[in-house]
Amino acid sequence: MAYDRLWERDLRSSLRCAGALLVLLLLIDGAAGSLTPLRAALWTALAALLFLVLYPSRVAAGEGWLSTRGPLRGHRVRTDHLVSVRCLDGVGQRLVLRDAFGARAEIDPRVLVANPPLWHRLDEDARRSARRGSLTCGETALRRVSERIDRETARTVFTMSGLD
C-alpha cells in the first residue's frame, strides 16, 4: 500500500497556521481591551474554520483502488476500473478520478509528484483500465502528470548531483 508521506507535515502546517491566527486575534483583541468570552469563541471558531479549509486530504492507494480522506468525509475509487481522469485548473489544480461504479475522488497532483509510490500505483492501474477499454477520457491528463513528475525527478537528480 502507498500513502502520502508528507501528510503529517502538511497537517502540522495547517495546525500552526490556524493556531497562529488564533493567537494573533486574541492578542490584538486583548491589547485593544475588547476581548470578551463571546469574541474569544468567535476567534476560536474562525481559527477552526481556517484549519478545516487548510486540512490536507489523506491519500492512500493499493492495488486497484485509491482513497482520499478529508476532515469530514472520504472518497474511494477503483483505479483498475477508471472511466475518466480530468485535470481541473484554477487556483489549486485537482485531478478528478471517476470509476465505472460512479465513485469520484479528487487529489492534488502535487501529492503524486511528492510520492512516487502513489503515482506508480495509480499509473499502473490506469494503464490496466486503458487496456480494458474502460478509460475513455483522461490519458492526456495522466500524461501531463507523468511529464511533470519526470521533470521534478530530473530536477531533483540534477540538484543532488550538483549539476544545477
Same domain, 129 and 63: yes
Residue 130 has pLDDT above 70, yes or no: yes
Same domain, 118 and 155: yes
> Order of strands, edge to edge, in the sheet holding 58-62?
2-3, 58-62, 65-69, 74-77
Mean pLDDT, residues 130-137 taken together: 88
Same domain, 12 and 76: no
CB 64 within 8 Å of CB 78? yes
Q: Please report the pLDDT score of residue 141 as a whole number.
A: 84
Amino acid at 28: I
Same domain, 142 and 112: yes
The domain containing residue 24 runs over which residues?
A: 2-54
Same domain, 82 and 7: no
| DSSP per-residue letters across 52-109 | HHHPPPEEEEETTEEEEE-SS-EEEE-GGGEEEEEEE-SSS-EEEEEETTS-EEEE-H
**Separation between Cα atoms, residue 23 and residue 6, nearest integer Å:** 26
Same domain, 33 and 104: no
Q: What CATH number is given to the structural domain containing 151?
A: 2.30.29
Same domain, 22 and 66: no
Predicted model pTM: 0.82
> Rounded to the nearest 5°, which phi and psi values hold at 99?
-110, 175
pLDDT in tens, 30-89: 999 999 999 999 999 999 999 999 999 999 999 999 999 999 899 999 999 999 999 887
Same domain, 32 and 86: no
Same domain, 47 and 105: no
Amino acid at 82: L
Domains contained in the chain, number: 2
Q: Which of 54, 75, 98 delimits the end of a domain?
A: 54
Same domain, 64 and 138: yes
Residue 146 has pLDDT above 90, yes or no: no
Q: Which of 54, 74, 94 delimits the end of a domain?
A: 54
Same domain, 68 and 143: yes
Q: Please report the pLDDT score of residue 164 as a whole number.
A: 67
Per the prediction, the chain carries an average pLDDT of: 92
Helix (H) or strand (E) holding 149: helix 139-161
Same domain, 48 and 73: no
**Separation between Cα atoms, residue 96 and residue 142, nearest integer Å:** 11
- Grid cell at residue 147: 511529464
